[in-house]
A and B are shown apart, each in its own frame.
Chain A
Amino acid sequence: MIVLTNYLIVGSILFVLGAIGFLARRNLITLVLSAEMMLHGVSLNLVAFSNFHQNMQGQAFTAFILTVAACEAGIALALILTLYKRSKSLDVNLWSQLAEADIESPHEEEPAVPTAQPTQEFPHLTPAGRSPQFQKETANRV
């Protein structure tokens, strides 16, 4: 006996986490991935109901969800590439001026670049052989 509610709970958790990721992240690719995770939650619901009713209609709907997800990913990638070509960045906040001009920006201006630069590492040569001894007379000759 399969418990229907368990699968619905997992599906709703996946849906909500995808929604949170869609709302909170700023990378365009992460946004699209979060939307795909919301689709995962929905298709889990459909498959669970399909098994609960013992007919194939939920699974057929999930097949259509797969088709739509594939189309969505293709078009989303084309759009992301176009946007990237214009702004040289995947930041979604750069496109917030698409809203009405007199609406204030929903995100606060943040101090820039907290990214930790990788520390520059120079190659070390392991010492080989004896270290040269300076003798006094050679130093004097030079």
Chain B
Amino acid sequence: MQWLKEHWLLVLPMVLGAFAVARLMPKGEPRSSLVARLVGLAAVGIVGGTLLQPTGSVLSDALFYLFAGVAVLGAVLMITHRNPAYSALWFAVVTLAVCGLFLLQSAPFLASATVIVYAGAIIVTFLFVLMLAQQAGATNYDQRSRQPGVAAFTGFVLLGALLFVLSPSKEQAATRPVTGFVSLAPKVVPVDQSSDQLSTTPQSTSATTAENFGTMRGLGRSLFGDYLFAVELAGTLLLVASIGAIVIAPKRSSGKL
């Protein structure tokens, strides 16, 4: 009880969000979902108002809230929409919002690559398959989800645990109001090559200094310096996956396109 009284601001939006998602999931006949939408917006508002910490810079705060709100609302609409084609389009919206967050975190190459790969390739092919497979329009299995209450309960228990860990406790908020993390703050560990001590801060062999952080030059140095073998493996993985997709895909009878 005492715990619940202290953390009701965390428990309440979880309960509201689970109710809203379970209610918004398609289940049989279409029903009015105005209450569920309002409850879901209230849950998002409570989480955003209590857990997110403003940085002080108005522009970056506004952009962050915009992109984060679009990402979360688009995600809810994606998993609850009755028409899978609209789900794919909402997924494109989520992808664009996540790319905006990437830009805010000074990862411009990853933002553009994600737009190209996801919105340009993956969504388009998924839409092609949808149009190939569902030419009759709305189907039975899209109107009925599989035990949405249990799924929403499970998911929001997990989300509550994650947010409980992520929410800054009182004394941490008093000491470090900006990040909320004390133990994870980047420590400057003197690089000592002779002693192989385990340091918590990941060390890079190629010099990624602060001035080329976030640029394509820095990412390229990291990819082709530290992770050269992993890049080769990723290329091999792409080759194997393309061969596998060709093998798995249904065969055409010869002479037909």
Chain A residues closer than 8 Å to B109, beta-carbon distance: 59
Q: Is residue B34 within 8 Å, beta carbon to beta carbon, of the partner chain? A: no
Cβ of A75 and Cβ of B241 under 8 Å apart? yes
Q: What's the least CB distance linking A50 to chain B, in Å? A: 7
* Closest A residue by C-beta to B246: A78
Cβ of A67 and Cβ of B237 under 8 Å apart? yes
Cβ of B155 and Cβ of A23 under 8 Å apart? yes
Interface of B is mostly: helix
Interface of A is mostly: helix
Residues of chain B whose beta carbon lies under 8 Å from any beta carbon of chain A: 21, 25, 28-30, 47, 51-57, 60, 64, 68, 71-72, 75-76, 78-79, 84, 87-88, 91, 94-95, 98, 101-102, 104-107, 109-110, 113-114, 117-118, 121-122, 125-126, 129-130, 132-134, 137-148, 150-152, 154-156, 158-159, 162-163, 166-168, 178-181, 184, 186, 201-202, 204, 208, 210, 213-214, 218-219, 221-223, 226-227, 230, 234, 237-238, 240-242, 244-246, 248-250
What's the Cα separation between A20 and B64 when bound, in Å? Answer: 24
Residue in A6, A10, A24, A81 whose CB lies within 8 Å of B129: A81
7 pairs from A and B in contact (CB 8 Å cutoff):
A2-B104, A3-B53, A23-B147, A56-B221, A70-B117, A77-B125, A91-B139
**Which of these binds chain B: A108-116, A121-129, A132-140?**
A108-116
* Closest A residue by C-beta to B187: A53
Interface centre among B134, B146, B154, B219 (most CB of A within 10 A): B146
Interface centre among A7, A50, A53, A59 (most CB of B within 10 A): A59
* Closest A residue by C-beta to B247: A78
Chain B residues closer than 8 Å to A40, beta-carbon distance: 94-95, 98
Q: What's the least CB distance linking B17 to chain A, in Å? A: 9
- CB < 8 Å A-B pair total: 289
Cβ of A74 and Cβ of B245 under 8 Å apart? yes
Cβ of B155 and Cβ of A16 under 8 Å apart? yes
Given the interface contacts A24-B148, A74-B245, does A29 sit within 8 Å of B213 by beta carbon? no
Q: What's the least CB distance linking B201 to chain A, in Å? A: 7
Cβ of A5 and Cβ of B129 under 8 Å apart? no
Cβ of B122 and Cβ of A12 under 8 Å apart? no
Q: What's the least CB distance linking B141 to chain A, in Å? A: 4
Cβ of A24 and Cβ of B79 under 8 Å apart? yes
Chain A residues closer than 8 Å to B52, beta-carbon distance: 3, 5-6, 9
Pick the 9 closest A-B CB pairs, nearest first.
Answer: A21-B79, A71-B241, A56-B222, A23-B151, A20-B155, A24-B151, A91-B141, A78-B248, A16-B159
Chain B residues closer than 8 Å to A24, beta-carbon distance: 25, 79, 145-148, 151-152
Chain B residues closer than 8 Å to A52, beta-carbon distance: 179, 184, 186
Residue in A18, A60, A67, A114 whose CB lies within 8 Å of B144: A114
Q: What's the least CB distance linking B136 to chain A, in Å? A: 9
Chain A residues closer than 8 Å to B28, beta-carbon distance: 114
Cβ of A33 and Cβ of B126 under 8 Å apart? yes
Chain A residues closer than 8 Å to B238, beta-carbon distance: 67, 70-71
Residue in B54, B91, B105, B113 whose CB lies within 8 Å of A33: B91
Q: What's the least CB distance linking B78 to chain A, in Å? A: 7
What's the Cα separation between A55 and B223 when bound, in Å? Answer: 12
